[in-house]
């Protein structure tokens, strides 16, 4: 007689921690592609994490982004997701009118693009040589000796050595603000590879795009429509809010126990597979003593951090930069606002919103709530810096503003990934490696797209596929 056929195993229990873009895309992919249900546990009272749009605050129906704003042409995972969700993309060209020049304002005077471009020509070979010696991307397991040496240098050390005139030159000062805008920490706190990888692919005769990417698109109606549309396609109740992860344990039978603080109590959840899609800046505060994670993973969790990039949006009745023939993107010394752009480049004139985008130590010193109307004194200070660059902005200010200080946000404790000296060749790539039945997602786990919404989306898909295969 045949042995009784084994009972069909129950559907695997999949737990996902973090309802940002990465965690939601993992849940969405599992459900839509494989029919695998999951539960997503979110510490905050809203989903989306750093993908969060600001609506109904400014006039004219302007929608701006609290967090991740720009989507590059090569961000296929995000563009495909938007398309599949029935969303359209608007061309914003990095917060600037396409084909119009940026404005560089260094040491209180105009640093014309033609001058900056000439200075770029003088340092181009140094970028190319270092990119060839340390091919993208240097990681903990694939690296060159030159890559290790460059990784251990700071951006400031690189600029002092390689740029004619060193750190005193206007080009070096522009580059300091450039890496701060792109990664978020002071240039002496960043790996020199951050700078090499930013501009190493630009052509010899074009410093533009100074940030190394086209940052061409944003989602029409707000990027967080990606979030709400994915949630709409998930089973009701998939996302549970107010669940703060406090411990991860892998048990002898292969299951994963996740402990959450919920109000005044602690809830334990046991899953067959877990995806941790929260930043390491918050995961490192959890009890990982029974996680079974490797020493290298524990070190990455403890040490790999986020930059401090933050935003101050100011509404203007008109856009003086357009009248003056500029696209709206502006850079100053790092002691100033560093970088800013037209938040509304896809919207009709005349009114608009300008976004100041400072990072580093000046942002860490800010006081007050992470999200809300910007302090008046701060707005006045930044407008005073912008006034000589685009005369007329102060008079055009409508009195409406908003500030997003991600460094002070308890659920991210920063903006997006920034590699410190030594971290590419010692730790980069470790974040994505599974540990037993625990998988990892989030922009910090994406080797090619960290710091972008696309890093979250593609890493969520990667983790979901790994769970489905297992």
Binding positions for FAD: 42-43
H helices within 357-452, ranges in order? 361-364, 376-386, 393-396, 423-427
Query: How far apart, in whole angstroms, are the C-alpha atoms of residue 45 and residue 419?
Result: 30
Residue positions in the annotated binding site for substrate?
A: 356
**Spatial CB neighbours of 392, under 8 Å, sequence gap ≥ 6:** 318, 320, 323
Residue positions in the annotated binding site?
A: 42-43, 356
- CA 126 remoteness from chain centre: 27
Find out whether 57 and 65 touch, Cβ atoms under 8 Å.
Answer: no
Backbone angles phi, psi at 281, to 5 degrees: -60, -25
Query: How far apart, in whole angstroms, are the C-alpha atoms of residue 150 and residue 130?
Result: 8
Question: CA torsion, points 424, 422, 120, 100, in degrees to nearest 10?
Answer: 50
Backbone angles phi, psi at 188, to 5 degrees: -80, -5
Question: Exposed/middle/buried for 253, CB within 10 Å: 0-12, 13-18, 19+?
Answer: exposed
Query: How far apart, in whole angstroms, are the C-alpha atoms of residue 466 and residue 470?
Result: 6
Query: Which residue from 252, 250, 230, 226 is spatially nearest to 239, judged by alpha carbons?
Result: 230
Query: How far apart, in whole angstroms, are the C-alpha atoms of residue 147 and residue 196?
Result: 11
């Amino acid at each position: 007689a045949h042995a009784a056929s084994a009972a069909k195993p129950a559907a695997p229990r999949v737990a996902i921690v973090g309802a940002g873009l990465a965690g939601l895309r993992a849940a969405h992919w599992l459900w839509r592609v494989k029919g695998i249900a999951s539960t997503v546990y979110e510490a905050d009272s809203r989903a989306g994490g750093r993908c969060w749009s600001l609506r109904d605050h400014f006039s004219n129906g302007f929608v701006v982004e609290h967090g991740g704003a720009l989507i590059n042409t090569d961000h296929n995972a995000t563009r495909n997701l938007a398309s599949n969700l029935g969303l359209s993309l608007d061309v914003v060209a990095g917060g600037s009118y396409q084909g119009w020049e940026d404005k560089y304002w260094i040491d209180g005077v105009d640093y014309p693009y033609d001058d900056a471009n000439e200075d770029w020509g003088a340092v181009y070979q140094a970028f190319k040589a270092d990119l060839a010696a340390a091919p993208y991307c240097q990681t903990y397991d694939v690296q060159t000796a030159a890559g290790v040496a460059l990784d251990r240098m700071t951006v400031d050390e690189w600029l002092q050595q390689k740029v004619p005139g060193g750190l005193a030159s206007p080009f070096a000062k522009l580059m300091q603000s450039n890496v701060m805008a792109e990664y978020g920490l002071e240039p002496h706190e960043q790996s020199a590879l951050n700078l090499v990888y930013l501009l190493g692919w630009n052509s010899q005769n074009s410093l533009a795009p100074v940030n190394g990417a086209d940052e061409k698109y944003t989602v029409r109606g707000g990027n967080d429509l990606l979030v709400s549309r994915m949630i709409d396609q998930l089973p009701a109740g998939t996302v549970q809010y107010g669940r703060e992860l406090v411990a991860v344990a892998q048990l002898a039978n292969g299951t994963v126990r996740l402990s959450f603080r919920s109000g005044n109590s602690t809830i334990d959840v046991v899953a067959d597979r877990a995806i941790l899609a929260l930043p390491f800046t918050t995961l490192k505060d959890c009890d990982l003593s029974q996680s079974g994670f490797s020493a290298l993973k524990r070190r990455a969790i403890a040490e790999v951090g986020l930059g401090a990039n933050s935003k101050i949006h100011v509404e203007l009745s008109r856009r003086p930069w357009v009248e003056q023939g500029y696209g709206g993107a502006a850079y100053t010394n790092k002691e100033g606002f560093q970088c800013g752009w037209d938040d509304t480049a896809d919207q009709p004139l005349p009114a608009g919103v300008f976004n100041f985008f400072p990072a580093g130590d000046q942002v860490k010193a800010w006081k007050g709530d992470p999200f809300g109307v910007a302090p008046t004194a701060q707005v006045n200070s930044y407008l005073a810096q912008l006034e000589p660059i685009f005369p007329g902005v102060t008079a055009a200010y409508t009195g409406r503003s908003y500030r997003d200080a991600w460094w002070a946000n308890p659920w991210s404790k920063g903006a997006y990934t920034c590699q410190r000296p030594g971290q590419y060749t010692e730790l980069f790539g470790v974040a994505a490696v599974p540990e037993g039945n625990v998988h990892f997602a989030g922009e910090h786990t994406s080797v090619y797209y960290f710091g972008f919404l696309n890093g979250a989306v593609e890493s969520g898909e990667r983790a979901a596929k790994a769970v489905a295969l297992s």
